[in-house]
Structures are given as structure tokens and as C-alpha cells.
């Protein structure tokens, strides 16, 4: 295991740190007495797991966390793989957010190996207040990419607008979401996405909350809005079905842990 900032050996203090090991969108976790834990470097060295380069991720509650990608997926006694989106509620909130940060950075590093200006190999630069890669030849610096996206719950009397994307698992519906385009305000993006994807207009757009969403590099910014006019007309590209649903007629919705689910639960709370 090659570490970007230290050599991992039996007598290295790095062994007392923890490591987030990803395979696709799954995280290797240690299960002990029904509790899900992040493996320590010591755990991983004993398993002789082959990884890509290990990168510093962050420090949390006095523990240093590193991150890497597994070269292959294998089963180990006492360990299992968990989908990142399924970890919410099973580990502490700050630890959950830290796994999203690590996953985001690991995937960003994969697509920023070479300088976009001169083609040289980039070097990872870690400063106390920032994380970046820099070209040793021309000095071009790149920071982790964050792509803002809106997500909105539209309410019409006692119903919520839910749509089905072609990318969703069978039967699942969710609220409308989309990436912010250059030159747009967030509110303009809300109106445009709803017009493009389902053909309706809205009013009273209000901020709800936000959530990092590293699939691959989004920041989801959530809003609520009131239906203002228009008939549902799906684009048949991103959206294959859409309709108004009451609290008693909801279809299959996103799992807990996503801000989409939080928006739908907000609607349900209003109805009760």
C-alpha cells in the first residue's frame, strides 16, 4: 500500500489512523457487535489488501482518516461492503459526511492526474486550509470540483409533484432536480428545470437546505415551491413519468439519507 504522505509499515504511527476504502460506490466497513466502524490502518495491513495510492482525507475527533480505492472486491471475515447511501443513520452524522468528502476527493483525483494546460503529471498539494493538485511545470492549480444542482419539492394543494427518471430503480419516483447552468441564479434554475422536464410554472420558491452529493461531485441545494400553472408534459428524455401524489398515494420514494427524501418527508409532515 503506497501512501502519499507516509510509508505504511508495522512501526508507523499511521497504523493508528483509519482508512476509507472504496470499491465503486461501496465502502469497506468493520462490523463489531452490530456496530459499523471504519477500519483502522492496522486492520487493513493485517488483511493484506491491495489499494491504489492512499490519500489524506481529514481529521475528525482526534483521528486521522485516509482514503483509497480498492483494486478488487473481496470478502473478509468481520468486514463487509456497504453502499455509501445506506450508511446514513448507521454511523454518526459527522462521520457520514466525512465518507462523502473522501469519496468525492478520491474520484476527483482520478480525473485530474494531468495538467489541463501543459499535460504534465499533477502533484497533490495539501495545505492546512485547502486541498488541491498543482502542475510542477507551469504551476496550474486545480481544486476539487463542486457542481451545484437544485432539487425542488413542488406542492399543489395537498399533493406533491414526483417524477420518474430513466436512471431510477424500477418503480421509484422523486422530486425534480437538475444542474445549475452558467449565468443562472438558483431560482432561475428551479424554474427552467421544471419547465424543461415537466412543463409547469411555480411561485414562492423558498430555500430548504443542502447536501453534499458526491455522485460524482454535486452540491444539492433544495427548495420548496408552489404550483403556479401548466399541465404536466414530460420531456421523455430524463423524465419518463410524472404526476401529483397525495400523502396516501405515494409511490416508491428515495431511501433515507438523501435530501430528496427529506423534502418528501417535509411534505408528509405538513399533511399530518
234 & 211 share domain: yes
134 & 162 share domain: no
Identify the three-state secondary structure at position 107.
Answer: helix
**148-177 burial, b for 16+ CB within 10 Å, e for fewer?**
ebbbbbbbeeebbbbbbbeeeeeeebbbbb
69 & 184 share domain: no
Residue 174 has pLDDT above 70, yes or no: yes
| CATH code of the domain covering residue 153 | 3.90.79.10
| Chain segment 131-153, per-residue pLDDT in tens | 899 999 999 999 999 999 999 99
Residue 8 has pLDDT above 50, yes or no: no
Q: How confident is the model at residue 128 (pLDDT cuts 50, 70, 90)?
A: low
Listed residue (164, 246, 151) closest to 205, CA to CA: 151
pTM for the full predicted model: 0.85
pLDDT attached to residue 183: 97
Euclidean distance between CA atoms 193 and 212, whole angstroms: 20
Q: How confident is the model at residue 33 (pLDDT cuts 50, 70, 90)?
A: confident
Pairing of strands 18-23, 63-69: parallel
How many domains are contained in the chain? 3
pLDDT attached to residue 44: 81
Looking at 62, 89, 110, the residue that finishes a domain is 110
Range of the domain at 48: 13-110
Tally Cβ neighbours within 10 Å of residue 75. 7
Euclidean distance between CA atoms 129 and 143, whole angstroms: 12
Identify the three-state secondary structure at position 154.
Answer: strand
Q: How far is CA 214 from CA 88, 97, 218, in A?
A: 14, 10, 6
Amino acid at each position: 500500500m503506497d501512501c502519499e504522505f507516509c510509508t505504511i509499515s508495522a512501526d508507523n504511527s499511521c497504523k493508528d489512523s483509519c482508512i476509507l476504502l472504496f470499491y465503486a460506490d461501496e465502502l469497506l466497513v468493520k462490523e463489531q457487535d452490530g456496530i459499523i466502524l471504519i477500519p483502522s490502518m492496522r486492520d487493513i495491513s493485517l488483511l493484506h489488501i491491495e489499494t491504489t495510492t492512499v490519500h489524506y482525507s481529514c481529521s475528525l475527533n482526534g483521528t486521522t482518516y485516509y482514503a483509497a480505492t480498492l483494486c478488487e472486491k473481496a470478502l473478509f471475515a468481520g468486514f463487509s461492503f456497504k453502499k455509501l447511501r445506506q450508511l446514513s443513520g448507521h454511523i454518526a452524522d459527522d462521520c457520514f459526511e466525512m465518507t462523502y468528502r473522501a469519496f468525492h476527493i478520491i474520484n476527483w483525483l482520478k480525473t485530474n492526474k494531468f495538467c489541463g494546460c501543459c499535460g504534465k503529471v499533477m502533484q497533490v498539494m495539501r495545505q492546512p486550509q485547502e486541498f488541491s493538485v498543482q502542475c510542477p511545470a507551469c504551476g496550474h492549480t486545480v481544486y476539487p470540483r463542486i457542481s451545484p444542482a437544485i432539487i425542488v419539492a413542488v406542492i399543489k394543494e395537498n399533493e406533491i409533484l414526483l417524477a420518474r427518471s430513466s436512471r431510477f430503480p424500477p418503480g421509484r419516483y422523486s422530486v425534480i432536480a437538475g444542474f445549475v447552468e452558467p449565468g443562472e441564479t438558483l431560482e432561475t434554475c428551479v424554474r427552467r428545470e421544471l419547465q424543461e422536464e415537466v412543463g409547469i410554472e411555480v411561485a414562492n420558491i423558498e430555500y430548504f437546505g443542502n447536501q453534499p452529493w458526491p455522485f460524482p461531485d454535486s452540491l444539492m441545494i433544495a427548495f420548496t415551491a408552489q404550483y403556479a400553472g401548466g399541465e404536466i408534459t414530460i420531456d421523455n428524455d430524463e423524465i419518463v413519468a410524472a404526476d401529483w401524489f397525495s400523502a396516501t398515494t405515494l409511490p416508491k420514494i428515495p431511501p433515507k439519507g438523501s435530501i430528496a427524501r427529506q423534502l418528501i418527508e417535509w411534505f408528509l409532515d405538513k399533511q399530518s
